[in-house]
A = this chain, B = another copy of it.
Amino acid sequence: MSTALKSIRSIAPLLDRVLVQRIKAETKTAGGIFLPESAVKELNEAKVLAVGPGGFNKDGQRMEPSVKPGDKVLVPQYGGSPIKVGEEEYSLFRDHELLAKINE
């Protein structure tokens, strides 16, 4: 989904959505040798850039999102709404679709 946006920072996710960018896998081995494109698997680790205010439970109360900007998370292989700003690619996931936090 391409946009004419100048910066991803202008995106404020709505409801329980979370804006993330996948972390790119190393394209070189430890010894500095470039890996072929096919070997560079798409990682499922991502950085949280922005978080919506949270969805509503059935009584209409806001549900606190479980992550915050700056967190590292494990995202599902598929799903999410892709967003393109210039050449950079981002994704919008629902809070409950995120699998885990990565505490490093």
Contacts and interface: CB of A to CB of B under 8 A. Distances in A.
A35 interface: no
Contacts of A15: 66, 96
Interface in A1-32: 1-6, 10-15, 17, 19, 23, 25-26
Taking the full assembly, how many copies of this chain does it contain? 7
Contacts of A17: 99-100
Contact of A58 (B41, B58, B73, B74): B58
* Main DSSP-derived SS at the A contact region: loop
A97 B76 CA distance: 18
A42 B102 CA distance: 28
Contacts of A25: 4
A11 B102 contact: yes
Nearest to A66: B14
Nearest to A67: B14
Across the A-B interface, the 4 shortest Cβ-Cβ residue pairs = A57-B60, A12-B101, A1-B44, A13-B100
